[in-house]
Structure 1
């Protein structure tokens, strides 16, 4: 594509993103600031349509971008940043972020949606990659015990140990066996993956071994499995799809946790930061684009943050927001303070 037609295509994409209306030759001429005739612009629009970058929804109407047109536009974007007020908003959020990692990830999804007005998604650290840094059995009193795990991602997981209905456990929970069981659990769990069914050495003390067994049973219960996906701002996309059926399809996808988690992980693994329309491989998202970036703990990618919106989304803003928030989230979970320099908005993620 020559330079002039690239400018024409860019003008069509930017105008359609702003107005959601087919773009005519006069609008392109004014937006692209080209010193050519309207007839030349019309010829360029026809050529871009013939090449598959634009389409004409109705006879005599202007043009709108195709997936190929959006892809060419996105691949040509330069570095982008958030506005100063938005950067300060992100800084303030992470400077005051408190609570457990689950709360942080949920709040981060809402922050990202507030910045962009698209639906935001945060994939939690995979339990398959997470390891246990510390394990402690805590006596809450009244025969209540709590197994507390600190994960390598910074997550804190809890499992209540049910001792009622088991006379030997009730007696053990009120004695020194709790401390002994806590030590055995620490030896058995630290450095191991949460997803593995753990065994622990037998001590020969019935009370200690009974508590250890009950704690391991509580740990492997489905009720203690952490959430994998946090979605924020679904209400922000309700007005961005003309067809109610399209909106319903998008919202149904966002309710499918496994599908969304698999999609974001697949995009990160493929080195993509933008999937446009059918590039996602998810049919109900044919009219959507997904923007994603990974976040890291101790130099290892453990999760991802993403945005979902219509294909006519503001890509430069979405990419800048996703990359800024992902880097800040990485810093909050343990990495060094990130730079606030401009971030790259090209579709491949480079090391």
Structure 2
């Protein structure tokens, strides 16, 4: 643990660097009321903090900037989630009050909302179909040889998948299969469904079994939505860093693994190399789980430079995750 003086100086450096993105000099730190020591004393303490790994001096004549270790100390010891101002709280509340229609669209819009509020890239991982109960199944003919299986889940999400048909699989047979599947699967979770009961019609049973097999192929797919790529581009000066971050955000598996790993480790903030994704080493990630009926069904998070505004990011992610969970629970 740092003593009170070093703690106050480190906090002053972190807060000013977050605000300005410029190395912080001793004169600026000495003017902070909570520091209350001379510039000479500040210079001595800055050198000590640098020696202990909390700060670094990018250039000989410049001020200091925080290291990942410095940010970690700031987050763990000096930061609590801030409070969103009334305007922002109202904006979040109005958004979820007006959110209707398909879950996928709401998750996509939620990622845009998070990005807009935090000026960071946003990630929303929705619940997998395998973990959500089915409300209704319908088979819709596309041609003589193909149909679409439409699966509606109780949380409002909808999945579509193509099914090959045999000769004689007409609209009446598709309708009968839809009725049979809906009766069999209503309220059931795909990952727990075993063999279907017989309908008494061999062709309907064949189609229902084939449709269920196809449904299982989509059940394990992750629903990932990202927003705010342009915010990432504005956050970094180095083109190569921007390119690396954007390329990584396009890789759905990496994004899901990143967010899931942070939540599974019981963390709300991963700073720089802590998250283990080398192309994102210049970034921090702030996440919160989305809980529905006491079960963790998704996550929301923001990704930005390590100098992000952590109190504001933590507050925003917490509020949005809570509101999203409530909205999904309401259906």
Specify if TM > 0.5. Answer: yes
Q: For 2:196 and 2:17, how far apart are their aligned partners in 1?
A: 62
Aligned pair partner of 2:83 in 56, 81, 84: 81
> Structure 1 residue 2 and structure 2 residue 6: aligned?
no
Structure 2 gap ranges (5+): none
What is the aligned counterpart of 2:98 among 75, 78, 96? 96
Q: 1:310: how far off?
A: 0.4
* Alignment-derived partner of residue 167 in structure 2: 167
Instruction: Please point out which of 104, 107, 118 is paired with 1:105.
Output: 107
Name the CA distance, whole Å, in 2 between partners of 1:138 and 1:185. 9
- In structure 1, the partner of 2:44 is 43
CA shift in 2, pair 1:181/1:248, >3 Å: same
Structure 1 residue 60 corresponds to structure 2 residue 76: no
Q: Which residue in the other structure is 2:317 paired with?
A: 322
Q: What is the CA deviation profile of residues 102-154 of structure 1, one whole-angstrom value per residue up to 9, with x for unaligned ones? A: 101000000000001110000111344x1433333356798786544343544
RMSD over aligned CA atoms reads 2.5
Q: What residue in structure 1 maps to residue 198 of structure 2?
A: 202
Distance in 1 between residues matched to 2:253 and 2:220, nearest whole Å: 14
Q: Which has the higher helix share?
A: 2
The counterpart of 1:249, out of the listed 244, 262, 265, is: 244
Secondary structure of the equivalent of 1:21? coil
Return the offset for 1:184.
3.3
The structural deviation recorded for 1:18 is 1.1
Spell out the pairing of 1:10-29 with structure 2 (5 A cutoff). Answer: 10-29=11-30
Counterpart of 1:228 (choices 198, 223, 232) is 223
Q: Give 3-state SS (helix, strand or coil) of 1:259's partner.
A: helix
Match of 2:180 among 181, 184, 191: 184
Seen in structure 2, the aligned counterparts of structure 1 residues 239 and 49 have a Cα distance that, compared at 3 Å, is same
Contact 1:184/1:212 (<8 A) preserved: yes
Kept in 2, the 8 Å contact 1:25–1:62? The answer is yes
Partner Cα separation in structure 2 for residue 284 and residue 32 of structure 1? 38
Q: 1:292 to 1:299 in 2, by over 3 A?
A: same
Divergent runs of 4+, >6 A: 140-144
How far 1:296 sits from its partner (Å)?
A: 1.2
